[in-house]
Amino acid sequence: MLDVTKNDRRREVPLNGRADAVLARRGSHAHGRVSGSNWNAFEGAVARAKLEDFRFHDLRHTFASWTVQRGPTLQEVKDLLGHSTLAMVMRYAHLSPEHLRSAVARLDTALPTASSAQVSAQEVVAAL
């Protein structure tokens, strides 16, 4: 549960099993905020990975993109991120060209191929 949010609305944030396990290992002192030693650990990890111009907030964009790529509705992603509009989700969810090609390739199965359409027409005629 997040008691303090950017828009002053209290909200519940569901976690997957792995995230829940990490917080469980932190024990009862976990308050759901990145501060103190947690913040230092994040900055240390960024430095060890030699990432430049990378902020904690960038992880929200990663979460949005990865979530959208796994198929939930934009409304679900909006609720997970705590956004008030779908337009804001679209600002956060960046899809790779490969993912977009995959999405359009799924349309290949939307219409029958010419040969299967011809077979279907022949079946209709034969049934008359």
Per-residue pLDDT tens digits for 13-29: 788 899 888 878 876 55
Q: Is the distance from CB of 98 to CB of 68 less than 8 angstroms?
A: no
DSSP state of 29: T
* Cβ burial 18-34 (10 Å sphere, 16+ → b, else e): eeeeeeeeeeeeeeeee
For residue 2, pLDDT beyond 70: no
Dump pLDDT digits (tens) for 64-109: 989 988 888 889 999 888 888 988 888 888 777 888 888 888 888 8
Neighbours of 59 (CB within 10 A): 12
Phi and psi at residue 2, in whole multiples of 5°?
Answer: -100, 115
Is the entire prediction scored with pTM above 0.85? no
Domain boundaries, the chain: 17-127
State the pLDDT at residue 115.
Answer: 64
